[in-house]
Structure 1
């Protein structure tokens, strides 16, 4: 390298680049072989699925032909019961249903049209009419199940009047087996032009050698739905595939999936679809260009060949790491500041509640013991609700949890009955504190003077959601001593009707009924975004 300071680096670059190109070539060759095998496997699976669907349809039609050949008259009830008892499953998806088209002579047309119009609001007629297209023999559709608006469009249509259908019907009658038609547009399509096909099975009168053709039982198919159902059956709906009529002079495309892209390589398979040769084309899902593995190999080879850029790359990487570290520290500092502000706000709210409780308790207490006892109970109520909020990381808290915490001292008492009922509703932290304080005061009053002060008393707490932003909580006492309105307002009444109502921003209804105290509170239901700490990405600010 001392003698050739420029030649050796160039030689190394050329050598590594050559090895990289050979590796990419080998990878691409393997990818193409693997893709070809995968497409061939998918094509075979779809071919089997299509033939299986055609075989299933043919089996149903054979069963129908065997039944109808023994019947003197094919009534609507008989045909409807036959189709319903088939219990068509997912293997019959893609078909419009099963129909019956009897052979009718021209002189029998009036009688057929009268039968066709039975149970119909409007008169039904055969189309095309004999006047439009004179003919001696017709095969109009009499029944088509399921009886949908779409299928009713086909009733009365003479399939024997159309050349493609007629050719398939003649072939089916000659071979006495299910036979598919060439591409046609189903009458059910109305004014649409979606391609389809039909599978016919002849029905002969009796079982003797000189039997007479009675009609055709058949299934109409929308080609696109049939192909899509076959793709769903093998879970290959994302691949491009196309179904063509293989017996036409120039192969005609009957249907193709949405994933079909013109110009891609395909694998072709012949399909025997009810005695008619069809062609299935399945496309490769591989797009033109290098595969991801080849791109990675090429980029890696060029990176190795560019050794001279290594030092600058390491320095740049170190600089980026330093910048990320600085951004992370800035983000943590912003979050810490936001948490401090949030903590100050919540502590101030809690202290304000405590000061209000102390002030009202002092004014309503006649001695120090009464003051200490009342203050202790209310501070404990706040503490219990605080514990709930801490467990939820000061997020939302269910109403049921708040009520259960405050009524826990009475829940294990066999002399009393507590009933809690209501949907799962989450409350914001401050609203949960106010509700907990109100429930504590109501429970304390009930334990001293109300239904929880005697054996057999009960308390029912029911809540419901009035709308998306408001919940109603009802406290109902029963089974206690008779209640009369107190002569003077106690602290509990003031706390509930003033402090709690103020904090919840809704009036509180407190009723002293003879059968027991009733209290109705309206509690806001807020979205978490209204009170939770929100954060942005690195370097952002918390709120």
Structure 2
């Protein structure tokens, strides 16, 4: 046993003896590779978790933005319903309505709520008079209709809260500006709150802070005879609106961007702090009062390795280096053990020679035993009958085993044979393949012969016939002639003009001679100008005609 252990040890150390430098290096590289795979797995799992968290944040942020927009739209709808029922919208009515809304201090991300009547140029003076009621400074409708003549005007008449910033917007004709005018017309058409694209609010006083507005049209009169009365609206600074929506999402600060994509272009509306290049992002489209906007949420973490990955990497490299040193020491020990291994190898060769000699003698012994049994069987009647019974059983068992192996060959439907052979062409949009017929089962050999014929016909059609051109059609229809015979018609159409081949090819001989012989019926193959036609007759046999039979039962011999 000591010798065996030393021998196995010598085999393992042979690599160290033959490759004293390569083996330690290979061990180092193997451990380093395992470490790299471990780091990759850790990072992959971390990325999956981060992506899931980023998707959750994007969904929550999109919901918060739409919620803010919906809340403001709901206020505007309420104002539209109220002002539509009033004969006149005056300053007191408007202020009372806004006060009853009990909005929070920042108006849910909006600058406030305003009223802008829809007027024509004939009532500009009257509207300016209303604008200047209780005002110390005169307010005019801008741009002036003298400088820019126009018939339709939508000037800002009231805007709450009454702040210095909001007073800058009073008297501004929103219908004079293209982006606002487009949203006003869309709101009038749809009769629902409608957001504008990116604009600079008049409240900015010449600044460049992007914003947008949401308009709700107000009509007066009965259904079918209504006229546009004006618009109740809310102006928004995009950055404040985005911040207001972010307050609804709990968690850490997330870098986001909001883009206007309603006109097909991607226009930046607002961006929260923390945005950095080369980080993963998730896009979500949001509905901002009937206008499409795009929310882009960015991951908070950069692409550096996580702490667990760094620990795994350092630990793996340390282990790899340690194993490199250990393997180098083992190579020295292996060289000392090789001499002992050579001696035991010599002893093992001697033992193998003895084993072969023993095996040879065992075979000779068995041959002698068989000879004795044979002689005994010939000389004793009882033993001969008994041996003969044993021989029959062995042969019957072998035959039964073969039959059971072949019994898996059952019947095959015609449709399956045809569909398998035509599978490469059936899903091609440039061709049409039609298969039609009843459920007919074929014997194994007949199915193989039919498949061979269909394969040859399909190959010919793909090279020269209907399957070689766009619009070609192949129709395979089979019918039962009687209970014992099925007819299969192959018809090509829509392909190139066909001429009778001057030289018989291998496929033609294969179908007309070999396949016809195997199916025991002639094959009718025609090369018509419109396409190849082929008629095959296939026997339909009962399973009992080709199924393998079970071997007869054997009787015991007493």
Distance change >3 Å, CA 250–CA 111, structure 1 → 2: same
Alpha-carbon offset, residue 11 of structure 1: 4.1
Q: How far apart in 2 are the matches of 1:221 and 1:155? A: 16
Is contact 2:194-2:289 (8 Å) kept? yes
Q: Which runs of 5+ in 1 are unaligned?
A: 311-543
Matched, 1:174 2:189: yes
Q: Deviations over 1:198-241 (max 9, x none)?
A: 00000111343211111000000111111121122103562221
Q: Which residue of 2 aligns with 1:293?
A: 308
Q: Deviations over 1:45-101 (max 9, x none)?
A: 111101111110110000001111111121211111111111113894211010000
Q: Which residue of 2 aligns with 1:74?
A: 89
Q: How far apart in 2 are the matches of 1:252 and 1:11? A: 56
Matches within 5 A, 1:315-464: none
Alpha-carbon offset, residue 272 of structure 1: 0.9
Alpha-carbon offset, residue 262 of structure 1: 3.2
Q: How far apart in 2 are the matches of 1:279 and 1:237? A: 21
Is contact 1:264-1:283 (8 Å) kept? yes
Q: Which residue of 2 aligns with 1:191?
A: 206
Alpha-carbon offset, residue 8 of structure 1: 5.6
Q: Which residue of 1 aligns with 2:244?
A: 229
From 131, 139, 148, give the equivalent of 2:146.
131
Is contact 1:106-1:138 (8 Å) kept? yes
Is contact 1:231-1:237 (8 Å) kept? no
Q: Which residue of 2 aligns with 1:499?
A: none
Q: Which residue of 2 aligns with 1:98?
A: 113
Q: Which residue of 2 aligns with 1:513?
A: none
Q: How far apart in 1 are the matches of 2:51 and 2:323? A: 41
From 72, 75, 82, give the equivalent of 1:60.
75
Considering only aligned residues, what root-mean-square deviation do their CA atoms show, in Å? 2.2
Larger Rg belongs to: 2
Q: Which residue of 2 aligns with 1:451?
A: none
Q: How far apart in 1 are the matches of 2:194 and 2:276? A: 31
Aligned-partner SS, 1:61: helix
Alpha-carbon offset, residue 270 of structure 1: 1.0
TM-score, normalization: structure 2? 0.53
Aligned residues: 311
Asked which structure has the greater RCO (Cα within 8 Å, sep 6+), the reply is 2
Distance change >3 Å, CA 26–CA 251, structure 1 → 2: same
Is contact 2:28-2:324 (8 Å) kept? no
Matched, 1:268 2:280: no
More displaced 10-residue stretch of structure 1: 211-220 or 91-100: 91-100
Q: Which residue of 1 aligns with 2:497?
A: none
Q: How far apart in 1 are the matches of 2:177 and 2:147? A: 13
Aligned-partner SS, 1:306: helix
Distance change >3 Å, CA 101–CA 237, structure 1 → 2: farther
Q: How far apart in 2 are the matches of 1:92 and 1:135? A: 33
TM-score, normalization: structure 1? 0.55
From 115, 128, 137, give the equivalent of 1:113.
128
